[in-house]
């Protein structure tokens, strides 16, 4: 839709069939505004339950039922507002919609904060008694267990209410970064070796770095980081502010470390995080071999950071239309069975997806949705093979959401973040295997292997490097240290040297990469890309090896929501993430592909 010779279209210029249809959420803006006002008024319902949950099973049941009902409504309000804003972040109307939705979310957190406090105060024995008195409360047994596990970190009712109210302004750093990164920052066009200009945006950046034109890659890379570098001190202040916010909430709740705070709510042992970093460090020699291979394949004396995206198979490159991408997705995911494929087609045919980039559109890609409506996917599709992988990735999220929402009650419908990246990367792995199996030549086979290697490089090695950066910076702020732009750049520079090894020239431009990573404003999220791909590689092997039995085990995981811990759900599917083994196996897979390439000299 966008190309190197045209500027981006406005939202109104995009074909409506290439945009998501938000009418299942709300048929009009006016109806959204009516529901916003109605839910705001209905929050008074909570007042009649406050300080009374311990009195009877009926009161407890009615409160929890009403809370679920109101939360569903809030989800739909919030989804509509944030999707409307993300499709054009420069639209002032939808900026206001999002602000109002977030304000309502914060208010609801505050007025409902007593629920967790009072359930904690009731204790295990009284809660068991209430379940015996009213069988319907059995639905909330696991929810009660999770709340009681958090009891050491639950504060008094007034304190919980105050913390909940603080979320509205404490998210300022994230909100400011989002507006800066999506609406305000501008990049100078990049010139290619012929002197032709190419517009540089978040959506075109990776595509430009995939170019075989090294001059274009270099100019795009330096243009992007020069733009961020102009705001280095402001961006450092934003990032540090978000770290201070996280440390404040964690320390107030009595956690011993930022990682404990981040992982405890998702019921993930802290050793999972540390073991990931340890396992990837053990696998760094294979990363260094990959870098050496890339240097040789590109035929350069000095490998630069802007050389890490371009395919190292120069004789086989192609682009895809969106129709071709959808057909490829359906073929590659066929091992998942007829039901799964039918759901994919439903999403493709009924405007679940917002396909192309337009002016002001949020960068990147994501899957979202609310209980009671189908999921949605935001893309910025430009036709690269990476974009095909992004499509199957985000539809993996969406179908995980679909299965979870259709098999779990609302209270357990949302799966934990730790498993969020498993279904998406399992789809990517199945696509890689399909493409490799159907390669028509050594050149095409090398192209697909290169893509797999780049996927592991980007998802396991790179995201673990991000995770280590987060661990270092969060621990410093947790301990009271001040982080300046110079300190952040220094930490990031050293990590790049360690992860890429001696054959990569790490320059000063890459030092600013930390400043453009949106996920850093959701602390300790990125490590789950690495654990997710590791689990996904293992699960894809089971699906392809065991057939229907492997698919059935996998679907038990997809349907599980948060009805069990993330670790337990993955164990049901056949993977144990409490050990290093899935990560080590994934890195062994990476090493085997490297050995294959070197043995047959196909690159």
Residues 83-97: pLDDT tens digits? 999 999 999 999 999
Enter the pTM of the model: 0.80
The CA distance from 110 to 531, in Å, is 34
Within-domain flag for 372:
no
In the predicted structure, residue 141 carries a pLDDT above the cut 80: yes
In the predicted structure, residue 3 carries a pLDDT above the cut 90: no
Local confidence band at 262 (pLDDT 50, 70, 90 cut-offs): very high
Within-domain flag for 385:
no
In the predicted structure, residue 597 carries a pLDDT above the cut 90: no
Total domain count, the chain: 1
504 phi/psi in degrees, rounded to 5: -105, 130
> What pLDDT digit, counting tens, does each position of 346-364 carry?
999 999 999 999 999 998 8
Average pLDDT of every residue of the chain:
94
Three-state SS at 400: helix
In the predicted structure, residue 424 carries a pLDDT above the cut 70: yes
292 phi/psi in degrees, rounded to 5: -65, -40
Report residue 471 as tokens: 């661990």
In the predicted structure, residue 498 carries a pLDDT above the cut 70: yes
Within-domain flag for 544:
no
362 phi/psi in degrees, rounded to 5: -60, 140
Handedness of CA 123, 124, 128, 131 (dihedral sign): positive
The stretch 377-398 carries a mean pLDDT of: 95
> What pLDDT digit, counting tens, does each position of 271-314 carry?
999 999 999 999 999 999 999 999 998 999 999 999 999 888 76
Within-domain flag for 366:
no
Angle at 370 between CA 365 and CA 372, to 5 degrees: 135
> What pLDDT digit, counting tens, does each position of 167-226 carry?
878 889 999 999 999 889 999 999 999 999 999 999 899 999 999 999 999 999 999 999
In the predicted structure, residue 112 carries a pLDDT above the cut 80: yes
Instruction: Assign residue 27 the CATH number of its domain.
Output: 1.20.140.70
Within-domain flag for 122:
yes
Confirm if 191 and 197 have CB atoms less than 8 A apart: yes
Report residue 160 as tokens: 């919980």
Local confidence band at 6 (pLDDT 50, 70, 90 cut-offs): low
In the predicted structure, residue 78 carries a pLDDT above the cut 50: yes
Angle at 387 between CA 383 and CA 393, to 5 degrees: 155
Local confidence band at 103 (pLDDT 50, 70, 90 cut-offs): very high
Residue 318: per-residue pLDDT? 79
Three-state SS at 403: helix
Report residue 224 as tokens: 């992007």
The CA distance from 481 to 452, in Å, is 39
Higher pLDDT, 598 or 329: 329
Residue 603: per-residue pLDDT? 67
**Domain range holding 73?**
18-170
* pLDDT > 90 fraction of the chain, expressed in percent and rounded: 85
In the predicted structure, residue 375 carries a pLDDT above the cut 80: yes
Residue 35: per-residue pLDDT? 98
Within-domain flag for 574:
no
Local confidence band at 2 (pLDDT 50, 70, 90 cut-offs): very low
Residue 5: per-residue pLDDT? 37
Q: Which residues are catalytic?
A: 394
Within-domain flag for 55:
yes
The stretch 429-450 carries a mean pLDDT of: 88
Q: Residue 315 class from Cβ within 10 Å (0-12 exposed, 13-18 middle, 19+ buried)?
A: exposed
Residue 314: per-residue pLDDT? 62
Q: Give 29-42 as a DSSP string.
A: HHHHHHHHHHHHHH
Higher pLDDT, 504 or 315: 504
Residue 315: per-residue pLDDT? 61
Local confidence band at 421 (pLDDT 50, 70, 90 cut-offs): confident
Residue 367: per-residue pLDDT? 97
Pick from 105, 117, 106: nearest CA to 158: 117
Within-domain flag for 263:
no
């Amino acid at each position: 839709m966008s190309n190197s010779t045209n500027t981006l279209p406005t939202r109104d210029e995009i074909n409506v069939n290439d945009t998501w249809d938000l009418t299942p959420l709300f048929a009009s803006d006016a109806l959204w505004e009516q529901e916003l006002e109605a839910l705001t008024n209905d929050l008074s319902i909570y007042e009649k339950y406050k300080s009374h949950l311990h009195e009877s099973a009926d009161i407890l049941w009615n409160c929890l039922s009403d809370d679920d009902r109101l939360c569903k409504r809030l989800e739909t309000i919030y989804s509509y507002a944030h999707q409307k804003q993300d499709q054009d972040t420069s639209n002032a109307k939808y900026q206001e919609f999002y602000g109002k939705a977030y304000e309502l979310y914060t208010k609801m957190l505050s007025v409902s904060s007593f629920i967790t406090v009072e359930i904690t105060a009731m204790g295990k024995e009284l809660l068991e008694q209430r379940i015996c008195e009213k069988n319907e409360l059995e639905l909330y047994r696991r929810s009660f267990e999770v709340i009681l596990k958090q009891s050491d970190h639950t504060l008094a009712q007034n304190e919980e209410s105050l913390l909940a109210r603080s979320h509205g302004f404490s998210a300022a750093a994230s909100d400011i970064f989002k507006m800066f990164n999506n609406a305000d920052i501008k990049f100078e066009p990049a010139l290619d070796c012929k002197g032709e200009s190419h517009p540089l945006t978040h959506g075109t950046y990776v595509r430009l770095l995939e170019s075989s034109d090294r001059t274009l890659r270099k100019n795009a890379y330096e243009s992007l980081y020069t733009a961020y570098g102009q705001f280095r001190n402001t961006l450092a202040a934003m990032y540090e502010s978000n770290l201070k916010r996280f440390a404040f909430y964690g320390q107030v709740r009595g956690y011993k470390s930022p990682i404990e705070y981040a992982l405890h709510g998702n019921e993930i042992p802290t050793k999972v995080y540390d073991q990931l970093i340890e396992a990837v460090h053990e696998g760094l020699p294979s990363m260094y071999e990959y870098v050496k291979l890339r240097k040789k394949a590109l035929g350069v004396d000095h490998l630069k950071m802007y050389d890490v995206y371009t395919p190292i198979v120069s004789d086989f490159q192609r682009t895809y239309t969106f129709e071709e991408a959808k057909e490829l997705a359906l073929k590659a995911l066929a091992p998942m069975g007829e039901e799964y494929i039918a759901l994919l087609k439903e999403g493709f045919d009924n405007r679940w997806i917002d396909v192309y980039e337009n002016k002001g559109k949020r960068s990147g890609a994501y899957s979202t949705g609310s209980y009671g409506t189908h999921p949605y996917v935001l893309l910025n599709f430009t036709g690269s093979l990476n974009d095909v992988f992004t499509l199957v990735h985000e539809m993996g999220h969406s179908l995980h959401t679909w299965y979870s929402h259709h098999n779990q009650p609302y209270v357990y419908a949302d799966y934990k973040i730790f498993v969020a990246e498993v279904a998406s990367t399992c789809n990517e792995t199945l696509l890689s295997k399909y493409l490799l199996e159907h390669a028509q030549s050594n050149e095409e086979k090398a192209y697909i292997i290169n893509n797999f290697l780049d996927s592991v490089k980007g998802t396991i090695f790179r995201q673990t490097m991000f995770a280590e950066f987060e661990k270092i910076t969060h621990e410093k702020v947790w301990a009271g240290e001040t982080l300046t732009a110079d300190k952040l750049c220094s930490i990031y520079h050293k990590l790049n040297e360690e992860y890429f090894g001696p054959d990569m020239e790490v320059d000063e431009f890459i030092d600013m990469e930390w400043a453009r990573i949106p996920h850093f404003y959701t602390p300790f999220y990125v490590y789950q890309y690495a654990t997710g791909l590791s689990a996904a590689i293992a699960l894809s092997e089971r699906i392809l090896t065991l057939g229907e039995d492997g698919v059935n085990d996998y679907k038990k995981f997809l349907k599980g929501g948060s009805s069990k811990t993330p670790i337990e759900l993955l164990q049901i599917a056949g993977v144990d993430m409490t050990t290093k083994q899935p990560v080590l196996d994934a890195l062994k897979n990476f090493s085997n592909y490297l050995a294959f390439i070197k043995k047959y000299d196909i690159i």
